């Protein structure tokens, strides 16, 4: 019998027994004769009128039965009269009366003998009744209410009583169909994990030479790069059970529950060895036990859970075939005890893929999608620098949905291009109606970006310009297609990027003589790049090759909503602000010179953009190159 079915059967039997006991109690109460409470004086009156057939004497009361046909005196209340009538028609009338304290029974016994009434004595015990109604019944009601509330909260009665049980999802060999063939773009990470797979398949190969496989493997990388997928692929390749649990599932409101779940998880894993334990989002329980920077203390439940995890990792032997894998995108906040040798002693970086990796990932996700002939996934990979595997999967899925919505039989390149735009900038908002003046401003703004990008040396080529509103606040977009993946940027390249960001604002200045609020995002990004040049990259002549501020600490505290403590003086802060301003102002002057000499192209391009709403391909390239007549002829 399955465990779940066995538990359900046990609880059904419990409910059946409780229902049977309650039914017996209700039945005995309904079938018992209805006794009417009368005063002692009325009892004596009925006795002297020879209407009493028999009585039972106890320490506290007298219970009697009237002779057939005898009725209670008319002085009885309305409720007693009803009971009496029921007794005369359906059975003998039963009455009770409370005895007078301190009065002896001798006189009453003589009177009962005189009227030939059958009487007996009874020692009354109320232990069972007091036990049932005073303890069992109230406790049963309370337990029933508690079980009902726990079931409504989603745990059920069985889970409510098992806080310390592990919540890990266990995938056996038949359920794990993911292999390294389903993972692309992380070739270095796969190569690192091949050794783990080989050990799980053939542990004697390493034990023969005295080698010891690492106890823990920590996968580090940005969100969406495929850390969980890679762990499942390791289990699938090794053909071993896979225990999956998120770090947040260990921590509960009650202190000690997380530690109990850690113990239970390792006990289950040892029983199913060889296997893999995978803890996703390890930073949920593995943060440094010193708390946040500048503060002392922490979360007691999380710290106890972490302590138990460290103890369990020290207490088991990896030669038994239990490998612990974990994933995090915040390795800087992990406790140092987790990363020392003998615990998570191997760290595997799962980074965002390059163009070859993106193309391989797109091919994997396109296997179940019908692609039209001529679709080049290499071009799509080139348009998506910095995209993680999850982003690329989303693009393929969005393109399939768009093609199905349009009634196509296959996914075309245009669908993939539109899917990229949707992922980058959001959905089109054609229902957002702009006034004619606003459309004019947006058109000149976007053409300013495009013209500057086409004029500077180090900017990526402009792929498309659009004034169709997208997302929450984007009224237009200028799309650039990188020629190659870049991992290093020079000062001139950063300055060119700032110039492209400021192109929209300068275009508004030249055409309208004033600026709008549409450039606020451009100014944010330009200021951020300029500040990084000064504080992180040492590209300021006044400040020299120094860095200012702690990146990790700033990121950690910024996420907590706390102010960042500066490690430089007020005078240095003033110089930093002056240098950032100087970089941005030099770029503004440079962009004014570029667009001032191409005002005719700017105006013509804005007119074309207002007419078509989107410019791309050859018309856009000719327009940016200044071939205005060729563009006019193409429009005709």
Range name among 100-109, 168-177, 554-563, 570-579 with the lowest pLDDT average:
554-563
Cα–Cα distance measured from residue 359 to residue 376, given in angstroms and rounded to the nearest whole number = 9
Give me the pLDDT at residue 591, please. 95
As a whole number of angstroms, the distance between CA 400 and CA 35 comes to 81
Give me the percent of the chain exceeding a pLDDT of 70. Answer: 77
Greater confidence, 134 or 61?
61
Confidence at residue 620, expressed as pLDDT on a 0 to 100 scale: 83
- Which DSSP category does 549 fall into? S
pLDDT digits (tens, 9 = 90+) for 481-524: 787 777 889 999 999 999 999 999 999 999 999 999 888 989 99
CA atoms of 525 and 587, how far apart (whole Å):
13
Separation of alpha carbons 402 and 419, rounded Å: 8
Q: How confident is the model at residue 308 (pLDDT cuts 50, 70, 90)?
A: confident
Q: Return the number of other C-beta atoms located less than 10 Å from residue 360's C-beta.
A: 20
> CA separation (Å) from 283 to 85, 188, 193, 242, 463?
78, 24, 22, 20, 40
Please say if the pLDDT value at position 375 is more than 70.
Answer: yes
Q: Which is higher by pLDDT, 595 or 427?
A: 595
Quote the pLDDT of residue 623: 84
Look at residue 95 and tell me whether its pLDDT is greater than 90: no
When computed from its CA atoms, the radius of gyration of the chain, rounded to whole angstroms, is: 42
Mean pLDDT of the chain: 78
Please compute the mean of the pLDDT values over residues 224-234 and round it to a whole number.
89
**Mean pLDDT calculated for residue range 54-75:** 74
Q: How far apart are CA 185 and CA 325, in angstroms?
A: 20
Average pLDDT over residues 307-316: 81
The confidence score (pLDDT) of residue 483 equals 74
Q: Comparing 611 with 134, which gets the higher pLDDT? A: 611
Q: Is 446 a catalytic residue?
A: yes
* pLDDT tens per residue across span 230-266: 988 888 888 888 888 888 877 765 566 778 888 888 8
pLDDT on residue 563? 45
At residue 73, does pLDDT exceed 80?
no
Judge residue 594's burial from the number of C-beta atoms within 10 Å of its C-beta, 0-12 exposed, 13-18 middle, 19 or more buried.
Answer: middle
∠ CA 378-414-444 to the nearest 5 degrees?
105
Is residue 84 predicted with pLDDT exceeding 60?
no
Kindly tell me the sign of the dihedral angle through the C-alpha atoms of 415, 420, 425, 426. Answer: positive
The per-residue pLDDT for range 548-584, each reduced to its tens digit, is 886 544 443 334 444 445 778 899 999 999 999 999 9
Residue 30 Rama label (left phi>0; alpha psi -120 to 50; beta): alpha
What's the per-residue H, E or C state across 474-538? ECCEEEECCCCCCCCCCHHHHHHHHHHHHHHHHHHHHHHCCCCHHHHHHHHHHHHHHHHHHHCCC
Most confident of 154-158, 210-214, 320-324, 569-573: 569-573
Q: Given the residues 446, 495, 579, 608, select the one marked as catalytic.
A: 446
**Does the pLDDT at position 186 exceed 70?**
yes
Q: Return the pLDDT at 318.
A: 62
Higher-confidence residue of 332 and 581: namely 581
């Amino acid at each position: 019998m399955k465990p779940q079915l066995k538990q359900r059967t046990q609880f059904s039997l419990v409910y059946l027994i409780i229902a049977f006991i309650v039914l017996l109690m209700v039945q005995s109460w309904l079938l018992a004769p209805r006794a009417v409470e009368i005063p002692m004086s009325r009892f004596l009156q009925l006795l002297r009128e020879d209407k009493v057939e028999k009585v039972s004497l106890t320490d506290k009361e007298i219970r009697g039965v009237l002779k057939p046909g005898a009725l209670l005196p008319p002085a009885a209340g309305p409720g007693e009269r009803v009971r009496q009538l029921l007794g005369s028609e359906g059975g003998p009338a039963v009455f009770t009366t409370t005895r007078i304290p301190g009065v002896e029974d001798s006189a009453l016994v003589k009177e009962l003998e005189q009227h030939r009434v059958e009487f007996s004595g009874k020692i009354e015990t109320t232990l069972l009744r007091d036990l049932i109604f005073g303890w069992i019944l109230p406790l049963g009601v309370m337990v029933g209410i508690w079980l009902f509330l726990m079931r409504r909260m989603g745990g059920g009665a069985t889970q409510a009583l098992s806080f310390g049980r592990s919540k890990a999802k266990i995938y056996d060999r038949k359920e794990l169909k993911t292999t390294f063939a389903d993972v692309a773009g992380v070739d270095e990470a796969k190569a690192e994990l091949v050794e783990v797979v080989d050990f799980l398949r053939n542990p004697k190969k390493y034990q023969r030479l005295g080698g010891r496989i690492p106890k823990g493997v920590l996968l580090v990388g940005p969100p969406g790069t495929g850390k969980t997928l890679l762990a499942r692929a390791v289990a699938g390749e090794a053909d071993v059970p896979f225990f999956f649990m998120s770090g947040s599932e260990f921590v509960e409101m009650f202190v000690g529950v997380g530690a109990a779940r850690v113990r239970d998880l390792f006990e289950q894993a040892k029983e199913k060895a060889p296997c893999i334990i995978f803890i996703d989002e390890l930073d949920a329980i593995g943060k440094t036990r010193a708390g946040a920077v500048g503060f002392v203390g922490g979360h007691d439940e999380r710290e106890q859970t972490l302590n138990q995890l460290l103890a369990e990792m020290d207490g088991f032997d990896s030669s038994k075939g239990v490998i612990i894998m974990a994933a995090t995108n915040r390795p800087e906040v992990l406790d140092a005890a987790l990363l020392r040798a003998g615990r998570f002693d191997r760290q595997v970086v799962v980074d965002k893929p390059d163009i070859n990796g993106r193309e391989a990932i797109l091919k994997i996700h396109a296997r179940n999608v019908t692609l039209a002939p001529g679709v080049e996934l290499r071009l799509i990979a080139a348009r998506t620098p910095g995209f993680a595997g999850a982003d690329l999967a989303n693009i393929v899925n969005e393109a399939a949905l768009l093609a199905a919505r349009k009634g196509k039989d296959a996914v075309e390149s245009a669908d993939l291009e539109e899917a990229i735009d949707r992922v980058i900038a959001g959905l089109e908002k054609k229902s957002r109606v702009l006034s004619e003046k606003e459309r004019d401003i947006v058109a000149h703004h976007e053409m300013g970006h495009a013209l500057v990008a086409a004029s500077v040396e180090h900017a990526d080529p402009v792929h498309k310009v659009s004034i169709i509103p997208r997302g929450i606040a984007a009224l237009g977009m200028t799309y650039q297609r990188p020629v190659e993946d870049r991992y290093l940027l020079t000062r001139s390249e950063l300055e060119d990027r700032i110039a492209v960001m400021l192109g929209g604002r300068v275009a508004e200045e030249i055409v309208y003589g004033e600026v709008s609020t549409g450039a606020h995002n451009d100014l944010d990004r330009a200021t951020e790049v300029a500040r990084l040049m000064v504080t992180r990259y040492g590209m300021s002549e006044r400040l020299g090759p120094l860095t200012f501020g702690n990146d990790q600490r700033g990121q950690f505290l910024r996420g907590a909503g706390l102010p960042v403590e500066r490690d430089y003086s007020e005078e240095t802060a003033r110089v930093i602000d002056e240098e950032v301003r100087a970089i941005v102002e030099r770029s503004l002057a440079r962009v004014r010179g570029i667009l001032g000499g191409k005002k005719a192209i700017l105006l013509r391009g804005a007119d074309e953009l207002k007419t078509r709403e989107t410019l791309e391909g050859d018309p856009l390239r000719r327009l940016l190159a200044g071939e205005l007549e060729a563009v006019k002829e193409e429009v005709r």
